[in-house]
Structure 1
Amino acid sequence: MPIPPQFLLSAQADPPRTLCDVLTATARAHPDAAAIDDGEMTLTYGQLLAVVRRTVARLGEVGVGRGSRVGIRMPSGSRDLYVAILATLYAGAAYVPVDADDPDERAELVFGEAEVDAIVDADGPRSTKSASTPAEPPARPTPDDDAWIIFTSGSTGKPKGVAVTHRNAAAFVDAEAAMFLPDAPIGPHDRVLAGLSVAFDASCEEMWLAWRNGACLVPAPRSLVRSGMDLGPWLVARDITIVSTVPTLASLWPPEALEAVRLLIFGGEACPPELADRLAVTGREVWNTYGPTEATVVACAAPLGGDGPVRIGLPLRGWDLAVVDAQGQPVAEGEVGELVIGGVGLARYLDPAKDAEKYAPMPTLGWERAYRSGDLVRLDTAGLLFMGRADDQVKVGGRRIELGEIDNALQNLPGVSGAAAAVRKSAAGNSLLVGYLVSADPGFDVAEAHAELRRQLPAAMVPTLALVDELPTRTSGKVDRDALPWPLPGSDRPVDDDVELSETELWLAQLWTDVLGMTVSSPDVDF
């Protein structure tokens, strides 16, 4: 069965270049246009490059040069974070981001796995190597050099580092520039929201939607982004015209918050049809995008609005897509199979064994290198339809999470004899990560177990905990996640029996129960 030609666009990849080439070209074309505005200071493209060059010199003083790896862990919402990222790239190094709000243990694990040569945090750059360690001097990278290394959740309990080259990244940036708003291209009159964690690869889309096209990047503090409703008025006040986000967050904003937004891009999780219909209005281009970190942020996209289902669409130029059956053969139109990705966006794992396993050749397709996504899609020549995961990898809050990594953390809690994680839907339809624990200790403290997980895992990966008598299993002996109890016992009532609330507090507690699927234990509880 041949692959439809509209899914084979690798031959259309843009010429190789680096992200530094991209920004330098933009600065040459728009030197006086605003490049970044964090509310405290606005830097033009000319000023931004001058600040970046000074920061490159500081990185050179701590031994950062071409081929180095630099850990980035800085507070969100500040221009300094983005200057550090750009300076790392211009020094010829790759940046390795960790969210500033993540636990120290996560940062140590990621930076250790990546073997970073230096770390940049709120105190500035510092070397992690001995003074005698030789380093190449700062130099502009080549397209084959790594631009960033982002860690995804790992099925073995260990996160996986994915290295993306400048060639991968620039091809992605150029492909999106050609795809969005063809009749009214992004330019200096646009302001792009930067609201995602730089440890999340979709943040790269935010940055380069601005810097590829001469627009202004407008960082938002993480606390504001997490607040949901408060972000809506902020978008209006800061004149935001372009937003890339996850559907769950956009669903919280009042419609008037997006009145000035002319390009809205969804990714990271499934987009509900109701949300697409509500936000795809005249004068606004709305897109649904799909792509794993391993294939450089976005592999395919589809415009939203109008009749028909929500699709993940057709490939970006430079990317190849195939839908295959269990034998690796392409399926016929209308059939469901695993999505396999090829082309210019293929990155690599830091772990050579994992890289060889996941980016293996596909002889049935004639591809020398391919990434098997583990996602099931329906082949439709109008655009692919996402059907779910073929394994235990899930999407919660826009983040890709391996349940195996959560299982591993749960099973290593003191006093736990068995554990498993699962994704459940609250009464309000929100996806919730729930950790089920079995313990022989009659005094097992669930609150302390939760606190311990918060010390180990990023906030998005810390589940709600439930103590159960046993874990249901399949005939294979593996945990039957589908049979784990839900709703949780007692969660059908909004408050514990001994909690006294006013009528208004009781109403609010019921809302919390509907959204989070858990009982309110106190008027002062902090969600």
Structure 2
Amino acid sequence: PGTYPRGGGVHLRLWAAERLAEHSGAASLTGTWLQRYARALGTKVGPDVDLHSLPPVTGLLKLGRGCAVESEVDLSGHWLDGDRLQIGAVKVGAGAVVGTRSVLFPGSRVGKRAEIAPGSAVRGHVPTGQSWAGSPAVKLGKAKRDLPKERPPRARHWRAMYGATGLALSLLPVLAAGPALLVVRAFVPADAGLGAAVRGALFALAPATVAFGLTYAAAVLVCVRLLGLGLRTGTFPSHGRVGWQAWTVTQLMDLSRQTLFPLYAGLVTPVWMRLLGMRVGRDAEVSTVLALPSLTTVGDGAFLADDTLTAPYELGGGWVRIGRAEIGRRAFLGNSGMTALGRSVPDDGLVGVLSATPKKAKQGSSYLGLPPVRLPRAACDADRSRTYAPPARLRWARALVELCRIVPVFCSAALVVGVVAALCAAAEHGLWLAFLLSGVVLLAAGLLGCALSVAAKWLLVGRHRPGEHPLWCGYVWRGELVDTFVEMLAVPWLAGAVPGTPVLHAWLRGLGARIGRGVWCESYWLPETDLVTLGDAATVNRGCVLQTHLFHDRILRTDTVILREGATLGPGGIVLPGSELGAKATLGPASLVMAGESVPAGTRWLGNPIEAWRP
């Protein structure tokens, strides 16, 4: 623990350790394997712990007996505060519960039997037996989660089941590769030379890629539907049948968002969700939602933006509580918005970016922040033929554009063929040569993938400018197609592996972002890159989104996001369109800057939405 210079030896070693963890597959571990990995890193893990989030590579984490850490909790214990790296230990006391998507600051301590609500940002010490919520987290009262007081017994066979399931989930791509390889075999003779084999593989590329995608989708579909049988609301042992089912379905849905990314945020997404068991109304728009499908209802004309979370399970005391979530008719759930079990976004209601759905909300009401605060909102009088009721010709036009999302998938498969061919050619001169050249070959493939995504951006949408665009227009559809090039080509092949480096910055500049000298940017989530300006020495931490657009009322509204010289955006922070951070201004972790806000130079802010940061 301590404070170190950005770009110094400690920072470099920490960055390298995190990249090694990602590329070794450790970041994908689940179930009992995750606890073993945590202990291997040096984390002190007590008995009967439910750990559903990645431990820090530093090992500076202590988990007390019987505590529960839900999914997507930031336990890293470090962040860049300007040009200084802050590292601290994190402690979660015995019997405590940390809700999903929470952030624990370096040096934070959660007392015994305390409860941290989902999406909270915890700094300092949370006393024993208290309930805290919000960003920054504040005291709500005594912890009183409605769960049985006695901890259920944990049978060894369920621990083994979690471990086996985690291993099986990691092998899903191998299962899907089987039919794809059979297709390739039909095009490549057994006695073919390298040149003939490459030609055959290229001819097989399209059908093999389709076979992989269909097999993977079928496997996810069958597993989710079977696991949905008997999955019901109520409270159950976390190490029991229903608890295991809920956990496995959630893991499958998360994997689906990554591998089957082209299926999301399109016309086919509601169909896919219905196949998985979700109740989805007519003309609903669904993006990369994470949900228990059989317990989620989406009303007619509803809109679920990127990375939304609905009906997650809750942990505590060895138990898991499962409930339903509902998104009302023509309701809107913004990027990274959450709807907890038993809650619903009302008809015509809105829950904003990085916000939680309140317990009770009236029809047509709007909320923002953590905890959610009601906001006034005037209804937008837009052309319904371009928002909610498009004619058939626009539906067909959008379908044709979205069909092109298969192109970047084919490009990614072609890169696989190219890499294998290059290494096979090198292996003909010795395996040692193939080994030595493997890094160079993969780097070349990554650079090509990034170049293709840059070319797609400029050919399809050109330069982004501030403005308004209805959902049913070519600009929006082409933008989603560019996102597919980014997510299927640039990110997996290179951009996602080099956060904070000049390589990532060069790629972002190629996409149109204005990035100054000495910038540290760990995020590639700059939706409309031309509208982003990062001044000299600015810092963008992990998990940040420079949100250059909003999409409520089905109108895409784009505007600039500017970070002046030396400004800092903390981990998990989101800056909305039209906002600006002044020179050397600092936004703490899990903070939200509202649209059109200007943060004064040299000031420090924290919260969702932001307020002055008081030590």
TM-score when normalising by structure 1: 0.28
TM-score (norm 2): 0.26
